[in-house]
Amino acid sequence: MSVFEAADFDHHETVAFFDNKASGLRAIIAIHSTALGAACGGTRMYPYANGDEALDDVLRLSRGMSYKSAIAGLPLGGGKAVIIGDPTKDKNEARLLAYAEAVNALGGRYITAMDVGIGPSDLPVIARGTKFVAGFDQPGKTGGDSGPLTALGVFVGLKAAVKHRLGAGDTKGVTVAIQGLGKVGMGLAKQLHREGAKLIVSDVNAEAVHGAEELFGAKPVSPDDIASVECDVFSPNALGAILNDRSIARMRAKVVAGGANNQLARDEHGVALKSHGILYAPDYVINGGGIIRVAGQIFGWADAEIEHRVLGIAATLTQIFRRADSEGVPTNVVADRVAEERMTEGPHAAAKAAE
């Protein structure tokens, strides 16, 4: 399959393939847009069935990063990388250093960070071979752990959605069903509990569920039932494509607001949510705290500046909700339009949006 015929090809600026025989590295780096700055996005290591599957993933994810950075008002473009291989078996120093050279080959047009299969212990190895890396703890720089700020952004974004849809100024007494209790889901649960929300939780990790029960008085349900429980807000913080024909038909929430990536199985599921009277907080808007943290490290922003930008996610979502109401279109359509407008207008638009 030619790159140009790939379903997720969207006028990407660069799609680079790397094959290093000595280390066994096989990787693809996709730069979707540098209209607002150097492309930034994580590296994913995954045992893809074939090259076409890896290509589809990197094209889709890199485009998403362009939109995420643009909507967050960051001076960054969108890119992503995938390494073909099982991270539990195929990851080693030689392969990571070969990947660092692949990043260097793009001359600074792409800055990498963490993603599935590439964690905190891997980035320092990659950083030995390239300076175009961010999103991990580095001496003299703001911290790299994006989990807490992603959770903060989801919390304030969820509150903005609750205010718009339910007219409530806070989440006291609001029932929130949280799917996924990783760093973001558990951090969100803590903040919601502190404000007085009623929590329903689910995770494949029984220990995490038990912890939420003990700490927050959360009610546990099975992973199969979490999307359809009676609640005010459904908060997906685990799987992608969770919003599909089957789940939306069964959903009893009035709001969907969570940190998971790629929540809509297809773009038209935004229409389905709207037709069911469910307010959707577009995923790449509400979970922007992570890329804001990474940008802060790249540009040397103070922690106070980074937190200010994360708190601004609430205002961005409120603007999207109001525009969606006035134009009579789904919120994901409005979010895409805003991101595309900013990319078209260039860096000045991003700087103005971040003020």
- Mean pLDDT over 321-350 rounds to 90
Supply the pLDDT for residue 201.
98
Identify the band that residue 350 occupies on the pLDDT scale cut at 50, 70 and 90. Answer: low
Across the chain, mean pLDDT equals 94
> Measured at the alpha carbon of residue 269, what is the angle toward residues 267 and 273, in degrees to the nearest 5?
135
* pLDDT value of residue 210: 97
- pLDDT tier, 349 (very low <50, low <70, confident <90, very high otherwise): low
E-assigned strand segments in the chain: 14-20, 25-33, 39-46, 77-84, 110-113, 175-179, 198-202, 219-220, 233-236, 255-256, 279-280
Q: Return the amino acid letter for 87.
A: P
Q: Of the listed 21, 68, 80, 172, which one is catalytic?
A: 80
Asked whether residue 187 carries a pLDDT value surpassing 80, the answer given is yes
Copy the structure tokens of residue 281: 């907080």
Six-digit token string for 319: 């603007």
> At residue 355, does pLDDT exceed 60?
no
- Quick one: average pLDDT of 328-346? 94
Percentage of residues of the chain with pLDDT beyond 90: 86
CB burial class (10 A; 0-12, 13-18, 19+) of residue 77?
buried
**CB atoms < 10 A from the CB of 321, how many?**
20
Query: Residue 309 is encoded by which pair of tokens?
Result: 């930008």
Q: How confident is the model at residue 145 (pLDDT cuts 50, 70, 90)?
A: confident
Q: List domains and CATH numbers for the chain.
A: 3-65+75-127 (3.40.50.10860), 147-287+317-341 (3.40.50.720)
Query: Is 138's pLDDT higher than 90?
Result: no
Q: Residues 79, 39: contact at Cβ < 8 Å?
A: yes
Maximum distance among all alpha carbons in the chain? 60
Among positive and negative, which fits the CA dihedral 256, 260, 262, 266?
negative
Q: What is the pLDDT of residue 116?
A: 85
d(CA 187, CA 310): 15
Q: What is the pLDDT of residues 190-244, one digit of tens each?
A: 999 999 999 999 999 999 999 999 999 999 999 999 999 999 999 999 878 899 9
**CB of 35 closer than 8 Å to CB of 77:** yes
Percent of the chain with pLDDT over 70: 97
Residue 120 has pLDDT above 70, yes or no: yes
Looking at residue 345, its pLDDT comes to: 87
Q: 257 with 238: CB under 8 angstroms?
A: no
In terms of C-beta density within 10 A (0-12 exposed, 13-18 middle, 19 or more buried), how is residue 253 classed?
A: buried
Q: What is the mean pLDDT of residues 68-89?
A: 96
Residues 230-259: what's their mean pLDDT?
A: 95
DSSP string computed for 168-225: -SS-TT-EEEEE--SHHHHHHHHHHHHHT-EEEEE-S-HHHHHHHHHHH-PEE--TTT
The gap from C-alpha 3 to its chain's centroid, in whole angstroms, comes to: 24
131 is a catalytic site residue: no
CA 59/CA 31 separation, integer angstroms: 8
Question: Residue range 151-163: average pLDDT?
Answer: 98
- Separation of alpha carbons 329 and 342, rounded Å: 19
Other C-beta atoms closer than 10 Å to the C-beta of 25 total 22
Give the whole-angstrom CA distance, residue 136 versus residue 310.
18
Which SS3 state, helix, strand or coil, does residue 242 take?
Answer: coil
The pLDDT of residue 150: 93
Mean pLDDT within 272-298: 96
